[in-house]
Amino acid sequence: MIKKIFTSCLIIVAGFSAISQTTTWSVKFSNAIIGRYHPTINAMTNKGWEYSNGIILVGIEKVYKQTHTASYLNYIKAYVDAYVSSTGVVNSQITTRLGLDGLHPGLLCLFLYEQTGLSKYKLAAQHLRDTLMGPAFNYPKTPEGGYWHRNDAVNFKNAELLDGIYMAQPFLAKYGALFNDHAATDTAVNQAIMLYNHLYSNTTHLIKHAWDYDKNTYAWAVPSTGLSTEVWSRGIGWYTMALIEILRYLPRTHPKYNQLVTILGNLATGIKTYQDATSGLWFDIVDSPKTAKNNYIETSGSGMFIYTLRTAIDSGWLSSTSYLPVVNKAWTGYQAFIKTYSGSIGGYSGGPQITSFCPATGVLNNYSAYVAVRPVSVPTSGGTQHPHGYAATLMAASAMEFLPPQPVTTVRAGSSQEISVRERVKAVVYPGPFKNELHINVSFIKPGNVELLLKDYSGNTIKSMSLGYNNAGTHNYSIQTNIASGPYLLYIIHNNEIINIQKVIRMK
């Protein structure tokens, strides 16, 4: 039966490998970005250690995990190494100037630790974690415990933005999963829920951009509620992508796991409701009709919605019947906004350009102020090169152009019944590619006997490990093996049932 299951899964993987990756927007944009901005992405933004660079590189990371193109890994590493010393010291101003925006590149440190095993990346991530949670620095919070978006008592005192959830909480969630830091995990979950409870509307099933705890500090805050006035597309995009990443690393046994899935479903309802019937995308002010003055199709939020919906479908958090038509229509519409750039940047001529996205924007006072910020393209022939269009395109394309990292269905051992297995088990496998040791971090919702199988693409078992009876919860395993370089499939078997299959690469 295991051999039978392997054969069916091999067909899926082989079908993926037959696709020409060079024709995907994921690869075209990744190659163009590396060709245009060198030696690192900071040549584009000049923002240093900050989310503006991080969001593009996390997008390239998503593509790397599908293609294993060495230049993508090297490009990410070159950026991080420009700010992280050999001893893991982060050369930045995150605690004084950047606030949550300076935490986002921490995701790249965790990624590089997975890929290389170098302790400096773990130490850098620990430093960033402690910036928010450690005793050495008391990062400012509202009286109920919500993080200010920035450590700035003049402009951000007791102000919480949707953007900030994405900048910090996916990092804490992944940190918690990799290093069994339950406090980091719980912080990520609680911050996301806390802000949602303030911003969510049962009428639109959407969320406003920001909240002022004091309700009267800022011109954008409605005095009776403290809420900002508008439903901004990229704000929702930041938040929903954060939900995806938190859930990705959250054990199903966590007491608030189902609450986050419900939140995701509520927001997906609103996103579906306000999809533009003509373009398939969403407007800058999502809940205002296209007839509203100066509103426009906004591609950065739309790309983030595409990533959110498709990943949630693939992960079993949303119904494919209800949402696959939505996301497929959106992806078709999105590609109409990808053009060919006519100029040359950094010696790289032509290449793809994404149009019609909102440039860098803070919380604004009202509808007129939001739509007065007119859409831009990247790259552009002059002025500021805004990163948000690149980031959203990479995220959307990486979700739409590749098969999910795990099979959606498998077969129960001893029967021919097909069952859904996605999200029955959480599995983080690293590094990728690996050398002689492969680490597996797994969360089981039920106790049972566990076995790991490493197979080649002919179905031969290279390594078999029987791990005995394991309680529900999170467990760490490792496989040590000296095998030929190339692709393999790692099977996680629980109570004689294959519940997770991961493609892994053994490097030379």
Reference 242, options 276, 291, 293, 193; nearest CA is 193
- Give 439-488 pLDDT, tens digit per residue: 888 877 778 888 888 887 667 888 888 888 888 777 888 888 888 877 78
Q: Are residues 45 and 155 in the same domain?
A: yes
Query: CA angle, corner 292, sides to 286 and 295, nearest 5?
Result: 55
| Residue 20 lies inside a defined structural domain of this protein | no
Among 337, 366, 400, where does a domain finish? 400
Q: Are residues 171 and 300 in the same domain?
A: yes
Q: Are residues 346 and 451 in the same domain?
A: no
| Residue 160 lies inside a defined structural domain of this protein | yes
- Give 349-405 pLDDT, tens digit per residue: 999 999 999 999 999 999 999 999 999 999 999 899 999 999 999 999 999 998 654
| Residue 297 lies inside a defined structural domain of this protein | yes
| Enclosing domain of residue 293 | 25-400
Q: Are residues 191 and 131 in the same domain?
A: yes
What is the Cα Rg of the chain in Å?
A: 22
Q: Are residues 65 and 177 in the same domain?
A: yes
Q: pLDDT tens digits, the chain, 508 residues: what are they?
A: 333 333 333 333 333 333 457 789 999 999 999 999 999 999 999 999 999 999 999 999 999 988 889 999 999 999 999 999 999 999 876 655 678 999 999 999 999 998 888 999 999 999 999 989 987 788 999 999 999 999 888 899 999 999 999 999 999 999 999 999 999 999 999 999 999 999 999 999 999 999 999 998 999 999 999 999 999 999 999 999 999 999 999 988 899 999 999 999 999 999 999 999 999 999 999 999 777 899 999 999 999 999 999 999 988 899 999 999 999 999 999 999 999 999 999 999 999 999 999 999 999 999 999 999 999 999 999 899 999 999 999 999 999 998 654 433 333 333 333 223 333 456 778 787 787 888 888 877 778 888 888 887 667 888 888 888 888 777 888 888 888 877 788 888 887 777 777 778 787 6
How many domains does the chain divide into?
2
Question: Taking the model in full, what pTM does it have?
Answer: 0.81
Q: Determine phi and psi for 9, rounding to 5 degrees.
A: -70, -35
Residues 6 or more apart whose CB falls under 8 angstroms from that of 63 comprise: 26, 27, 30, 69, 72, 394, 397, 398
| Residue 3 lies inside a defined structural domain of this protein | no
What secondary structure letter does DSSP report for 293?
Answer: T
CA 238 to each of CA 34, 207, 233: distance values in angstroms, whole numbers, following the listed order: 24, 11, 9
Q: Are residues 225 and 371 in the same domain?
A: yes
Which strand (E) or helix (H) includes residue 455? strand 448-455
Per-residue pLDDT, 436? 80
* Under 8 Å between Cβ of 38 and 345: no
Alpha-carbon distance 397 to 297, whole Å?
18
Q: Are residues 373 and 491 in the same domain?
A: no
Q: Are residues 173 and 300 in the same domain?
A: yes
Q: Are residues 438 and 328 in the same domain?
A: no
Tokens encoding 278: 């003509």
Q: Are residues 206 and 123 in the same domain?
A: yes
Among 400, 432, 463, where does a domain finish? 400
CATH of the domain at 367: 1.50.10.10
Q: Are residues 121 and 255 in the same domain?
A: yes
Q: Are residues 56 and 147 in the same domain?
A: yes
Reference 37, options 280, 311, 348, 267; nearest CA is 348
| Residue 334 lies inside a defined structural domain of this protein | yes
Residues 6 or more apart whose CB falls under 8 angstroms from that of 47 comprise: 53
